[in-house]
Structure formats: structure tokens, C-alpha cells
Structure 1
């Protein structure tokens, strides 16, 4: 197989692949056997029709077409591996030459244009030191947590006074555009000062008492008229204030397993310290990625970037074409950062020769399923059937590469070496774990079983 590579862009290449007959012949033979299973030829048992007869009766063009469909993806993958090209998207395949008969010496020739990961030269990790902010817990942090706990045990009490910030108002809303009602809600409970609904609502409500009404102009943030200005009429049905319990031993006994407020405060501080250490580990991760990206100019694939920006905008607005300049700029910044980090972590995993076991992938998929409240086995089967196992393997490799890279450097805070082992774990010692090839093989078996069940279904129904 002859492979030539032409760089179209820093992140885009065009491969021209010419396949020798001896490499293409096995695909032709496999195509003849597959076709033989599906046709009836007088004088031959089904599935045992000689290849020459298939060429004569069915036509070599049909055989070659089947062989191209099955062979080109495999040959393309081999070419990528040989040239060490890491694709970032699906290729554009153009089959240019195919033999016209079994005796035709024309070689199969096709091109593949694909966006690729650029070459990334990562720094050596040995001896690298990275500074991370100190994990600190102040009395104010503890007080905020206690205040949040108090609010969980608070009660709402009706008050006979105008609404103020922090109060809860029960309100009716009616939005009009050109005198026509476009949206209305009744009995909505709203906390003044939370700014969780329409802009201008907090200002309109402050100072109103139960039974009073007002109106203001606001921009609708959802629904068919999203982004349009509307006249919003609001009526206050009731005003309630939050009444919080006192911080004392009685509260500690009601809100926890502790007998005294001091014991509760000590426990709250420990929880705050654990959270602070977790945030420090996250900051260490971000600092590590920033450090290995430092000074690198990493171009991102234009097509992949455009698709990701489109998806990002769909998450913030129903119609991406109507996104504001600020939304577009923010989406682009997010996508470029995400893409850059992904490519760097992929390169890191390769540099560290990270191995991903089948157990790693299954555990990863099971954890995602649990996060979404799904049955792990059903979720894993769906991933396999949809051909997404490769993406899962890649994600696990990035995660393992990141952890391995972080273990290889030294993190310091104010001159002291940090021990992040509680968050980074230890390097896997079992080198005999099932490999990614095993996971891929399992996927292939699952696909085959699914295909067998589909083939058997009509026969079962016919009985």
C-alpha cells in the first residue's frame, strides 16, 4: 500500500492511498463469499457458489463495490496508523480508481481528507514544579456554612408590610406585547433580590405590599417570544419573611448529631477544610494543564471548532443564528480552550504510554450511567451498539494520562510540597489487566450477537 500525505492546513491533511492487488484481493474474496450467501445460483448450494461464478452472474462491479465498502475504512485506518496521523473528525473519502474486472491490473486508489491533531511538543515532566494557592478556611467560611444550615431549618412567616430584599412574595405575572397577552403565570413564589426571573422584577416588587400591583418593561428570556420586549404586569398576593432559628445548642441538636454548637462548628470546619482541599486539587489540575501548555502555539481544527461552537450556542439559545456577538465570542473561547486541552491530554497520554483496560472503560461508563440514574448494563450496551466505545476509551485515556502526569511533577504551596495522593490515587500496578483491544473485541462480539438476534427474529416469529 502506497500512502502519500499532503498538508492542506496545520490541522488538515489529504491522504492518497494506492492499494496493491494482493492487499485488495482478500476483500474481493470476502465480498464474493458474502454475496454467495445471499443469492441462489442453479447447480450450487447457497453460500457455496465459486467466486468466478459470482463474478459472471452477479457482476464484478457489485463484488468490487462490496469490497470497497468494507475495505476502504480498514485500509484508511492502517494508513493513519502508519503515518501516525490522529484524526479529529470523520474523513471525506473519494474513491478514484477501482479494477473493472478480476484480471484488470488497475489498483484501488482513494483519497481521504481529514482534520487531524497537530503535532504537540510537550515539556519534560521530571523536575517540574508547579505553584498552587494554599487551601484556607476562615471563620467567615464556617459562618456562611452555618447560615446555610440555618436557612434549611428556617420557616416562612407572613408579614403585613412592604416587600424587601430577602422576602418571599407570592405573585401573578402577565406579559403583553402590543396589548396581547403572550405569557402568564399565577401563584409564583419569588425571593426578592435573587434575580432569577425577569430583569427588572426585583426593582418592581420592592416596596409593594400584598394586594398591590405594578408594571414594568422587561425582556422575555424563554418561550416563543424570547428576546422580545414586553409589558409585564405583576400583582403581589402575599409577602413572607424568612424566620431563622437561633444558633445555640438546641439548634445543634435539631440540625445534627451533636449536642453542642461548638461541636457542630468543629464538624462544619472539618467539612470546609475537606472542600478546600478538593478545590486545591482542582486548582492543581488546572495549573498543571496550563503549565504544560505554556508557550505552545496549538492550532485547532477549523471544522471541528465550528461544529462545537454551533452546539455550544444551541445550549444557550434556541436559534444559534440569532446569538449575540458576546454569546458567539464566549462560545468560541470555551470551545478553543476545550479543544486545546483535549488535544494536549491526548498527546500526554501517548507520551506517557498510558494503557487503558477494559475494566477502566466499563467502570467509567458505569459511573456516568449512575450519575444520570440509568441502568449501567443498558447504558454500556447502548454505547457499544452506537459505536461510541472509542470515544469512551479516549476519555479514559485522557483522565489516566492527566493523573499520571500530575503524579510525575511536584506541586508546592507557599514553599511547602503538597501531598495530593488522596485525589490522584496510585499508579495501577496490575500490568496484566485486559487491554483496550479486549474492550474492542467485546464490542465486536456484542455487535455480532445483536446482528444474529436481528437475523433470527423473523424465523422465531414465523414459528
Structure 2
């Protein structure tokens, strides 16, 4: 197989691949066998029709077409591996030459154009030191968490006074457009100051007592008239204020397993310290990635960036086509930063010679399923059926590469070596772990089973 590579852009290449007949012939033979299983030829058992008969009866063009469909993806992958090209998108394939008969010496020739990861020369990790800010907590942090706990045990009591910020009002709402009622709700409980319903509602309720009502203009945020201006009449049925328990030993006993308020505060401080250490580990990770990128010019593939920016934009506005210039710029910047981090972590995983096992991928997908309250087996099968296993393998590789890289450098805080072992874990030593290839093979089997189930 002859492979020529032409760089179109720093992140885009065109591969021209010419396949010798002896390399393409096995694909032609496999295509003949597959076709033989599907056709009936008098005088031959199904599946046992000689290749020459298939060429005559079905036509060599059909055989070659089947062989190209099956062979080109594999040959393309071999070319990528040989030339050490890391694709970041699906290729554009153009088949230019195909033999027209079994005796035709024309070589299969196709062109693949694909966006690729640029070559990234990472700095040496040996001797690298990275400074990380101190993990500090204050009494205010402890008091804030204690106050949140206190509010969980608060009760609402009716008050005979005008509603104010922080109160809970039971209200009726009626929305009218041109004098016609378009929506109404009764008995809605609303916290003043939360700004979780209609714009202008907080201002309208402020100062109203039970039994009073007012009208204001607002924009409807749901329903058939979403986005339209309406006259909204709001009536207050009752006003309740939150009554919080006293911060004393009785509260500590009710809200926790501790007997005294001092013991509860000490436990909350420990929790704050753990959270601060977690934030410090996150800062160490971000500082490490920033250090790897320091001084590097990392071009981003245009097509991949456009797709990533589009996904970011969908998360920013319900109608991406109506996005502002500022939103589009923000989405593009986020996409660029995300892709650069991914490319650096991919390069790091290669540098650290990371191996991803089938168990690694399974555990990763199972943890995601649990986060979303999904059945792990069903989620993993869905990932496989949708062809997303490769993305999962990449994510696991990045994660393992990041941990391995962070273990290889020294983090310091105010001149002292920072121990992050509780976050980085130990190096996994499992020589019998199955490889990515094994995970992919298992996925292929699962995919076949899923297809068989769908066909039944």
C-alpha cells in the first residue's frame, strides 16, 4: 500500500492511498463469500457458490463495490496508523480508481481528507514544579454552611404584615392580553426575591398584605403566548415568614448526630476543609494543564471547532440562530479552549504511554449512568449501539493520562511540597487488564447482538 500525505492546513491533511492487488484481493474474496450467502444459483448450495460464478452471475462491479465498502475503512485506519496521524473528525472519502474485472491490474486508489490533531511537543515533566494557592477556610465559610443547615430545619409561620423579601406568599395569577384571559394559576407558593417566575412579580408583591391585589405588565415565559406582553393580575392569599431554630445544643441534637453545637461546628469545619482541599486539587489540575500549554501554539481544526461552538451555543440560548455576536464569540472561545485542553491531554496520554482497559471504560460509563440515575447496563449498551464507545475510550485515556502526568510532577504550596495523593490515587498495576482493542472487540460483539435482537 502506497500512502502520500499532503498538508492542506496545520490541522488538515489529504491522504492518497493506492492499494496493491494482493492487498485488495482478500476483500474481493470476502465480498464474494458474503454475496454467495445471499443469492441462489442453480446447481450450487447457498453460500457455496464459487467466486468466478459470482463474478459472472452477479457482476464484478457489485463484488468490487462490496469490497470497497468493507476495505476502505480498514485500509484508511492502517494508513493513519502508519503515518501517525490522529484524526479529530470523520474523513471525506473519494474513491478514484477501482479494478473493473478480476483480471484488471488497476489498483484501488482513494483519497481521504480529514482534520487531524496537530503535533504537540509537550515539556518534560521530570523536575517540573507547580505552585498552587493555599487551601484556606474562614469562620464565614463555617457560618454560611451552618446557616444553610439551619434553614433546612426552618418552618413557615403566618404573619399579619405586608410581604417582604424572603417571605413566602400564596398567590393567584391571571394573565390577560387585550382584555382576554390567556392563563391563570391559583394557590402558587412564591418566595419574594427569588426571581424564579415572571419579571416584575417581586416588585409587584413587595408591600402587599393578605387579601390585597395589584396588576403589572410582564412577559409570559411559557405556554401558547410565550414571549408576549400581558397584563398580569396578582392576588395575595397569605403571607408566611421563615422561622429559624435557635443555634444551640438542642438544634445540634436535632440536626446531627452531635450533642453540642461546638461539636457540630467542628464537624462542619472539617467538611469545609475537605471541600477546600478539593478546590485546591482542582486548581492544581488547571495549573498543570496551563503549564503544559505554556508557550505552545496549538492550532484548532476549523470544522471540529465549528461543531463544538455550535454545541456550546445550544447550551447558551434556546434558539442558536438568534444568538448575539457576543454569545457566538463566547461559544467559539469556549470551544477553542476545550479542544486545546483535549488535544494536550491526548498528547499527554501518549507521552505517559497510557493503556486503557475494558474495565476502565466500563467503570467510567457506569459512573456516568449512576450520576444520571440510569441503569448502567442499559446505558453502556446504548453507548455501544450509538457508536460512542470511541469517545468514552478517549475520555478515559485523557483522565488516566492527566493523573499519571500529575503524579510525575511536584506541586508546592507556599514553598512546601503539596501531597495530592488522596486525589490522584495510586498507579494501577494490572498486567492482565484487557486492552482498548479488547474493549472494542467486545463492543462489536455487543453491537451484533443488539442488531440481532432488533431483527427478531
State the TM-score bracket (shorter-chain normalisation): over 0.9
Q: Distance in 1 between matches of 2:263 and 2:6?
A: 69
CA apart distance, 1:229 = 4.4
- Report the counterpart of residue 274 of structure 2 in structure 1: 274
| SS of 1:171 mapped into structure 2 | strand
Within 5 Å, give how 1:337-356 maps onto structure 2.
337-356=337-356
- Report the counterpart of residue 20 of structure 1 in structure 2: 20
Q: Distance in 2 between matches of 1:4 and 1:177?
A: 68
Aligned in 2, Cα 1:194/1:443: closer, same or farther, shift over 3 Å? Answer: same
Aligned length: 456
Aligned in 2, Cα 1:138/1:355: closer, same or farther, shift over 3 Å? Answer: same
**Post-superposition CA distance 1:324-363 (Å, at most 9, x none):** 3333232222222211111111111111111111111111
- Report the counterpart of residue 460 of structure 1 in structure 2: none
| SS of 2:406 mapped into structure 1 | helix
Aligned in 2, Cα 1:146/1:454: closer, same or farther, shift over 3 Å? Answer: closer
- Report the counterpart of residue 291 of structure 2 in structure 1: 291
Q: Distance in 1 between matches of 2:179 and 2:18?
A: 70
Q: Distance in 2 between matches of 1:85 and 1:225?
A: 53
Q: Distance in 1 between matches of 2:324 and 2:236?
A: 34
- Report the counterpart of residue 93 of structure 2 in structure 1: 93
| SS of 2:354 mapped into structure 1 | coil
State whether structure 2 residue 412 is matched by structure 1 residue 406: no
- Report the counterpart of residue 244 of structure 2 in structure 1: 244
Query: What's the Cα RMSD here?
Result: 1.9
Aligned in 2, Cα 1:429/1:230: closer, same or farther, shift over 3 Å? Answer: same
Aligned in 2, Cα 1:182/1:126: closer, same or farther, shift over 3 Å? Answer: farther
Aligned in 2, Cα 1:215/1:121: closer, same or farther, shift over 3 Å? Answer: farther
State whether structure 2 residue 179 is matched by structure 1 residue 173: no
- Report the counterpart of residue 461 of structure 1 in structure 2: none
| SS of 2:342 mapped into structure 1 | helix
CA apart distance, 1:9 = 2.1
Within 5 Å, give how 1:152-191 maps onto structure 2.
152-177=152-177, 179=179, 181-191=181-191
- Report the counterpart of residue 442 of structure 2 in structure 1: 442
Q: Distance in 1 between matches of 2:49 and 2:166?
A: 83
Q: Distance in 1 between matches of 2:309 and 2:427?
A: 36
CA apart distance, 1:259 = 0.9
Within 5 Å, give how 1:30-429 maps onto structure 2.
30-177=30-177, 179=179, 181-222=181-222, 226-429=226-429
**Post-superposition CA distance 1:8-45 (Å, at most 9, x none):** 22222221111111111110000000000111111111
Aligned in 2, Cα 1:12/1:177: closer, same or farther, shift over 3 Å? Answer: farther
Q: Distance in 1 between matches of 2:265 and 2:350?
A: 47
Q: Distance in 2 between matches of 1:362 and 1:180?
A: 57
Q: Distance in 1 between matches of 2:74 and 2:183?
A: 56
**Post-superposition CA distance 1:116-152 (Å, at most 9, x none):** 1111121111111111111112111111111001100
**Structure 2 portions without partners, runs of 5+:** none
CA apart distance, 1:171 = 2.4
